[in-house]
Structures are given as C-alpha cells and as structure tokens.
C-alpha cells in the first residue's frame, strides 16, 4: 500500500463520526488538563483509561493520542498567563510568555503559541506519515551502547541548560537516577531500595513525583509570602500575531518543528527536552540574546513548536517499534494492549486501519485544536482568573485526584506530599527539578542499556567509544560538561542557560 | 572569609550558605548510604554487572558532588535563595497545607472521598488567604459534588466511599 492509499484508508477511519467525536473529546480534555496546572496528560490518560474498555481500538487510541497533543497546546496558556507551566513541556514558555503577558502582549504570545503548535504539530504528523518506516529502520540499528550514550547526552544537555549551579544540577541528576532505580531490578529480579514496601516494588511513581515537584511545590512557593496575583489581569486581545511577530517567529517555528520531531523520536528526548533545547538554540542564534527572558516572542514560538513536534515524533518508536519513548507513550501502549493490539513493525500490516486512522486523526485533531483554541482562549482565561485562594485549593484537589486515580494508591498520595515538600525546598535553595525528573524517567532504561552493552561486549568499556554514534554522543556530552565546569567557559554557558528568574 | 565579610552578606545569601551546608551534608550521607546499599546488593563484574553496580557508582558520585557543595558553601558569594528570606516565609501556612494534604491521604480510605475532600477543601479555603466561613463551606461542598459527579460518576474513577458506603 503506498502512502496515498494508506492516507485514504486512514482518513476513512478518522472521519467516521464516532471517531471524530472521540478525537474532539481527546483534544478538548487534553487542552483542559493542559490549561489546569498540576494535572498533566499522564494523570488524565490514566484517569480515562477505563473508558477505553468500551470503545473500538481506533476510537480509544485516537482519543488518548488527542489528550497527549491537546495537553501540549493547553499547557502554554497557563504558562503565559499565570507563570505556572500547565504541563512540564511548557516550563520554558513561562520564561518569555509570561514576560510578554506582563507587557500587555498576552494575546500575541497565546496566538503564536497556538499557530506555532498547529504548524509544528502538522509538520510532525506529515513527517510521521512519510518518514516512519525509514526512521524506524535506522532506530532499529541502535544497540544498548548507543541508547546508553544517547541518554547520557540527553541528561548532560539538560544539566548544561539548567540555570544556576552545575554542581547542584549534577547532584539532582544523580538523585533522579537513584530514584529511577528503586524497585525490582529488571535483570536479576532483586528488589532495590524498597524498604520492604510492596508499593515500591514497581518503583516510585512518576505521577506523584511530578505533581509534587512541579505542581504543589509551585503553590507552596507562591503562598510562602503574601502576594498579589500574578495572573495577567488585562483583557486578552489581538490574538493574531502581527507581521513583525510572524517575521520573528517563522525561523524559531521551523527550527523548533525539526528539532522537536527529531528529539521526539529518541527515547528520553520527548517534549520537555525539545522545548528546552529549542529555547537554547533560539537564544544562541539570536542577534539579541539579551531579549530572552524579557518577553522575546521567539522564546515562545520555538519551544511551543518544538514540544508539539516532539509529541508527534514520539509516536514513531511506539507505532513502528512498539517501544514507548516516554511515560505518556507507555500509557498509550497500555491502551493498545487493552484493545488486544500489539504496536510494532507489524501494526501497519495487521491493523492498517488503526495505524493510519490514528495518524490521520492527528491531522484532524491539530486543525480542531487551532479552531478550538483561539476562540476558547477567553474561556481558559476566565478559568484561570479564579482568585488564588480558590484556584490553589482546586489545583491541590486536582493533583490529589490525578495522583490517586492513576494507581488507586494512598501510598502515592504520601509520595506526592513528600515530593511537594522536597520540591519547595529545591526551588528555594536553587536545586532544579528538571534534571532529577529526566534522570528518573531514564534511570532504569539507562541502567539496563549500560548493563546490556557491558554484557554484550564481555565487559569491554571501549564498546562505548568504538561505536561511532555512541562515541559522538559521549564526546558531545563531555564537551558540554567541560564547557560548564571550566571557569572561563562558564560565562558563555550562563548566557544561554535557562534562567527562570 | 572573615566574620565582618560574612555579616556583610544579605539574609538571602546567608540562608543559602546555611542551606548548602545542611543539604550538602545530608546528600553526602545519602550518597554514601546508596553506595553502601549498592555494594551490598552486589557489584558483579564488568562483563556481568550486578544489581548494585549503578547504585554503587551513582552513590559515590553523588557523595562526591554533594561534599563539594558542602565544602564550597562558605565561600559562595553570589548565591541567593529564591523568594523571600527564610525568616519572612509564612511557615505556618506551608505547614498547614502540607499537613492537610497528609491528613487527606490518611483519611481518604477510612472516611471516604466525599467527607475527606469537603474537609480538605474547607481547611484550604480557610487557610490560603481565608474565605468567609459561609463561602468556604459552600465552596467545599459544591466543589466536591461537582468533582465527584465529573470524575467519579462521569469518568468512572474509583474513589473510596468510606463512611458513605461501599465504593
């Protein structure tokens, strides 16, 4: 079946009324949970997973996918208007988006975020349509050594880009790595650091940890002193970016789309890293890097494009290899399994209506999001204009419900509370949570690939430097670390680091 | 650094130094314990690394990095804590919020989702820039009802019913 035929099959499935309804539900719910700080796509997808029992496989996967890329859209609204990322991939958008809003330019910031997201999302789906088979064949050639080195590079880049002390970022990465190793060892079956708690055998939950570190810690930080609301109060107008805005944003959107898509394919890359890297890239190529952090529209356009393109790219390893590159895709894998469908190389052959139906629904979903989001921004703003003394308890409640409903575990609520406190102290004392969370997500994969590589090479450490892709990744990581640690070069890092202040 | 220079630092910088000393110390200890645990689990050999291999090395690196933070803390000149100095933090409100969430987790199973959520919201509405009692009660009950209908009945989330019957 060629691409045109495949697309016809796909659109035939995606345009069925029932699938259109579930696509709409997915992107709407995704946007809503993206707008609400604290509850992210992981929690929402976990919450909605039981619903998929009653749906056709196509409808359930279409809806779950819609939640994911819908959340990428929605997260920017909260980042721009409240300075709190609606979900982790919008952390970077707060830097310039909120500054734009404070300068009375919330409209263009939200507008360019929506347009950039739409363009990048559509580009990513088009790339997914055309490039999935050849890209999958390249990714298949990655062995454990390449995966390990790639993840080390991903972590190093994040540490490099994090503002403040490099030492503290490295410490956080180590802590995240250790936390990621809690639970049953995948090779030997030994329980590690479980303190004889059954709940820890499967490891520490990403949902309670992320909600605590990002959602509730932010609220604690906000109420530590009596303060004015930081929600942008002015009327949001002029959502359509001006010609000058487009001129400044075209390059960042194009670069963000490509960068995001490529990083989305890689395990551990994902939307968060894509948005961080896009920001760093735009700051580096800009003729006026000093504008970044003070309301540069490029700082919104690039990362928003990148995180949406990454969301599209992340489907490639799942749909073509059956390997989820991140937690969200792991949940989507769960939805496939519930429906007795095995994603992987045979998915296109055995279930073309599902593969191409999901791909084509993403074109439709992206269009729905653009049409929905520009008129609905007023609604989201009204939602966010709820005063803090009402909004904060509601966010805390959503976090608690999201955390509990993911696993129906009270233990996870305690974990969330613990990480809330830890997250507050980390924020207070300059320990960035992003390296911790990425290292946590990558921890078990990183360890597994390191051990596999050593086993396969009979204990030869040189396997990491004799294989070209692995060696390149490690060399780049080393250069970045040296750049960050050497005093003369440190100043250069500080000019591109993600300064959250 | 002399005492005079130390006193010249503002509250934020002094707080940061103290915090780095404490956190660096704690993480050094944690790193050492993790390395010990890794060693106890078994390092294996390079050709077949054991379950403690990565834990051991990560623990050692963590201990080393954290010790560096601790040792260099007294010499840090520019580092400032985020937000207000520690003595200006509204610790009571933070403590109540954390305790409320902890109590919610503890109460959810025995008394059920609806009563626990009403109580939690009531405390939160009265703690963070307090609402009047009547507004707080109405807000807590109405929010719980809406959330239960949407998440519990609409989306089928399994909430413990506790005092109100079998969930």
Alpha carbons A208 and A204: distance in angstroms, whole number: 8
Confidence at residue A442, expressed as pLDDT on a 0 to 100 scale: 77
Q: For the CA atoms of chain B, what is the radius of gyration?
A: 24
Residue B146 sits at the chain A interface (C-beta within 8 Å): no
Contact A170 B65 (CB under 8 A): yes
What's the pTM value of the predicted model, to 2 decimals?
Answer: 0.77
Contact A171 B65 (CB under 8 A): yes
Determine how many CB atoms are found less than 10 A away from the CB of residue A240: 14
What is the number of CB-based contacts under 8 A between chain A and chain B?
A: 182
| Tokens matching residue B2 | 């002399």
Residue B142 sits at the chain A interface (C-beta within 8 Å): no
Whether pLDDT at B6 is above 50:
no
- Give chain A positions within 8 Å (CB) of B114: none
Judging by beta carbons within 10 Å of its beta carbon (0-12, 13-18, 19+), is residue A197 exposed, middle or buried? exposed
Minimum CA–CA partner of B14 in chain A: A429
Residue B114 sits at the chain A interface (C-beta within 8 Å): no
Contact B104 A413 (CB under 8 A): yes
Contact A294, A102 (CB under 8 A): no
CA distance B62 to chain A (A): 6
Contact A35, A81 (CB under 8 A): no
Confidence at residue A51, expressed as pLDDT on a 0 to 100 scale: 67
The complex's ipTM works out to 0.91
| Tokens matching residue B149 | 């209908």
pLDDT values of chain A reduced to their tens digit, one per residue, 501 residues: 577 888 898 899 999 999 999 999 999 888 887 787 656 677 677 667 766 667 888 898 899 889 888 887 887 887 888 777 666 677 788 888 888 888 888 888 888 888 898 899 889 888 888 877 676 666 667 788 988 887 788 778 767 766 678 889 899 999 999 999 999 998 888 899 998 888 899 889 877 887 788 778 878 888 887 755 555 555 666 778 888 889 999 999 999 999 998 888 765 556 777 888 888 888 888 888 888 888 889 999 999 999 889 888 888 877 876 666 666 777 787 778 778 887 766 777 788 888 889 989 999 998 898 887 778 877 877 777 777 788 789 888 988 887 887 788 899 999 999 999 999 999 899 888 878 887 887 788 889 989 999 999 999 999 999 998 889 989 988 988 888 777 655 555 555 454 432
pLDDT-derived band at B7 (thresholds 50, 70, 90) equals very low
CA distance B74 to chain A (A): 15
Confidence at residue A163, expressed as pLDDT on a 0 to 100 scale: 64
Alpha carbons A31 and A23: distance in angstroms, whole number: 12
Confidence at residue A209, expressed as pLDDT on a 0 to 100 scale: 86
> Closest to B90 (Cβ–Cβ): which among A225, A405, A430?
A225
Determine how many CB atoms are found less than 10 A away from the CB of residue B152: 18
What is the rounded (10 degree) CA torsion for A36, A38, A40, A44?
Answer: -80
Confidence at residue B4, expressed as pLDDT on a 0 to 100 scale: 41
B156 Rama class: left (phi>0) / alpha (psi -120 to 50) / beta: left
Angle between helical axes of A243-265 and A298-313 (0-180°, round to 10) = 30
Contact B51 A216 (CB under 8 A): no
Residue B69 sits at the chain A interface (C-beta within 8 Å): yes
Whether pLDDT at B167 is above 50:
no
Alpha carbons A406 and A48: distance in angstroms, whole number: 9
Confidence at residue B112, expressed as pLDDT on a 0 to 100 scale: 93
Confidence at residue B144, expressed as pLDDT on a 0 to 100 scale: 95
Whether pLDDT at B40 is above 80:
yes
Q: What is the DSSP string of A60-97?
A: HHHHHHHHHHHHHHHHHHHHHHHSS-SSGGGHHHHHHH
For chain B, the average pLDDT equals 87
Alpha carbons A451 and B160: distance in angstroms, whole number: 42
Angle between helical axes of A144-161 and A270-285 (0-180°, round to 10) = 50
pLDDT-derived band at B1 (thresholds 50, 70, 90) equals very low
Confidence at residue A351, expressed as pLDDT on a 0 to 100 scale: 85
């Amino acid at each position: 079946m060629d691409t045109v035929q495949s697309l016809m099959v796909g659109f035939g499935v995606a345009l069925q009324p029932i699938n259109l309804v579930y696509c709409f539900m997915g992107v709407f719910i995704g946007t809503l949970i993206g707008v609400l700080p604290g509850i992210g796509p992981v929690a929402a997808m976990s919450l909605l997973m039981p619903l998929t029992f009653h749906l056709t496989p196509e409808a359930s996967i279409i809806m779950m996918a819609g939640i994911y890329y819908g959340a990428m859209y929605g997260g920017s609204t909260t980042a721009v208007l409240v300075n709190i990322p609606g979900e982790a991939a919008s952390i970077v958008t707060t830097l310039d988006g909120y500054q734009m809003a404070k300068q009375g330019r919330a409209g263009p910031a939200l507008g360019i975020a929506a347009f950039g997201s739409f363009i990048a999302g559509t580009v990513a789906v088009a790339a997914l349509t055309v490039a999935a088979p050849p890209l999958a064949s390249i990714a298949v050639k990655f062995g454990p050594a390449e995966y390990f080195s790639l993840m080390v590079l991903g972590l190093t880049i994040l540490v490099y880009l994090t503002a403040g002390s490099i030492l503290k970022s490295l410490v956080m990465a180590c802590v995240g790595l250790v936390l990621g190793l809690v639970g049953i060892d995948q090779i030997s079956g030994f329980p590690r650091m479980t303190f004889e708690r059954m709940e820890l055998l499967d490891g520490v939950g990403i949902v309670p940890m992320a909600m605590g570190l990002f959602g509730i810690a932010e609220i604690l930080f906000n109420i530590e002193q009596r303060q004015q609301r930081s929600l942008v109060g002015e009327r949001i107008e002029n959502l359509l970016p001006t010609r000058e805005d487009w001129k400044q944003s075209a390059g960042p959107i194009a670069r963000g789309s490509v960068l995001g898509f490529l990083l989305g394919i890689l395990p551990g890359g994902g939307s968060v890293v894509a948005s961080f890297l896009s920001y760093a890239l735009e700051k580096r190529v800009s003729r006026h890097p000093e504008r970044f952090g003070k309301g540069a529209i490029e700082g919104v356009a690039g990362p928003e494009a990148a995180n949406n393109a990454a969301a599209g790219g992340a489907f490639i390893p799942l749909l073509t290899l059956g390997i989820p590159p991140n937690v969200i895709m792991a949940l989507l894998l769960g939805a496939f399994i519930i429906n007795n469908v095995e994603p992987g190389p045979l998915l296109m052959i055995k279930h073309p209506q599902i593969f191409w139906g999901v791909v084509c629904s993403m074109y439709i979903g992206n269009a729905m999001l653009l049409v929905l989001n520009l008129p609905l921004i007023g609604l989201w703003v009204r939602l966010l204009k709820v005063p803090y003394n009402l909004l904060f308890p509601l966010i805390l409640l959503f976090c608690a419900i999201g955390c509990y409903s993911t696993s129906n575990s009270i233990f996870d609520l305690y974990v969330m509370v613990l990480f809330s406190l830890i997250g507050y102290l980390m924020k207070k004392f300059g320990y960035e949570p992003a390296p911790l969370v990425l290292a946590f997500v990558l921890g078990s994969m990183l360890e597994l690939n390191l051990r596999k590589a050593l086993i396969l090479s009979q204990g030869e450490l040189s396997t990491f430097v004799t294989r070209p892709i692995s060696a390149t990744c490690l060399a780049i990581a080393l250069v970045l670390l040296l750049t960050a640690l050497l005093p003369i070069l440190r100043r250069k890092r500080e000019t591109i680091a993600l300064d959250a202040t | 650094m002399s005492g005079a220079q130390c006193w010249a630092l503002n509250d934020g910088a002094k707080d940061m130094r103290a915090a780095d000393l404490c956190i660096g110390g704690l993480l050094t200890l944690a790193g050492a314990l993790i390395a010990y645990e890794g060693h106890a689990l078994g390092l294996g050999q390079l050709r077949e690394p054991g379950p403690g291999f990565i834990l051991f090395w990560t623990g050692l690196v963590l201990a080393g990095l954290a010790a560096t933070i601790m040792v260099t803390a007294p010499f840090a000149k520019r580092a400032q804590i985020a937000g207000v100095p520690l003595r200006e933090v509204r610790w009571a409100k933070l403590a109540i919020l954390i305790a409320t969430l902890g109590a919610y987790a503890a109460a959810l199973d025995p008394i059920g989702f609806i009563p626990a959520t009403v109580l939690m919201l009531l405390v939160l509405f009265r703690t963070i820039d307090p609402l009047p009692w009547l507004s707080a009660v109405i807000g807590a009950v109405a929010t719980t009802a809406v959330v239960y209908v949407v998440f519990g009945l609409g989306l089928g989330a399994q909430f413990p019913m506790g005092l109100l019957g079998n969930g």
